[in-house]
Amino acid sequence: MRQRLCRMCGNWHDTEAWPAECYKQRSESRSAFPVPHFVCDTQDELQSQADGKWYTSKSAMRASYKAENNPHGVNFTEVGNEDLTRFTLPPKLDRKANRDAVERAISAVESGSIPPVHTTDSFPL
Ligand SMILES: [Zn+2]
């Protein structure tokens, strides 16, 4: 029979029959934080810069950033504190110009033209 000094009650107990009341009680939480981390959907009332309406729901406000839900018809990206007065629409793609450029490049390669190889000597870092 082997005994050890109990740190809980200060008495000696048999190691094979340790009293249940002298086991260290673990709390349910494993961290010092009182609750797990969660992000709440509610917020103080904020005005969406996409449609000008006021929202208390983060998800509803983020839905207004989608093109189909705002009067601008533009997908907005939620970022930091950028100055929105400088916002400009992205340039429109000129599909015909792109297609023509690709066709010119294909015909140039097919006719034997080899484009120059660019190295870091021609474009120093
Ligand atoms: Zn004890």
* pLDDT tens figures, 67-114: 999 998 999 988 877 777 888 888 888 999 999 999 999 999 899 987
Residue at 15 is within a domain: no
Distance 22 CA to ligand 1 centre (A): 4
Q: Is residue 120 part of a domain?
A: no
Query: Which uninterrupted H or E stretch holds 13?
Result: strand 12-14
- Indicate whether 61 belongs to any domain: yes
Whether the predicted model's global pTM rises above the 0.75 cut: no
Residues 6+ apart with CB under 8 A from 46: 54, 55, 56, 61
The alpha carbon of 3 and the centre of ligand 1 are apart by a number of angstroms equal to 11
Domain that holds residue 50: 42-79
**Close Cβ partners of 5 (under 8 Å, ≥ 6 residues apart):** 11, 12
**Ligand 1 geometric centre to CA of 32 (Å):** 26
Based on C-alpha coordinates, what's the Rg of the chain? 34
d(CA 123, CA 125): 6
Instruction: For 14-31, write each residue's pLDDT tens digit.
Output: 999 999 999 887 766 677
Number of domains in the chain: 1
Q: Is residue 121 part of a domain?
A: no
Question: How many angstroms is it from 27 CA to the middle of ligand 1?
Answer: 19
Distance 20 CA to ligand 1 centre (A): 9
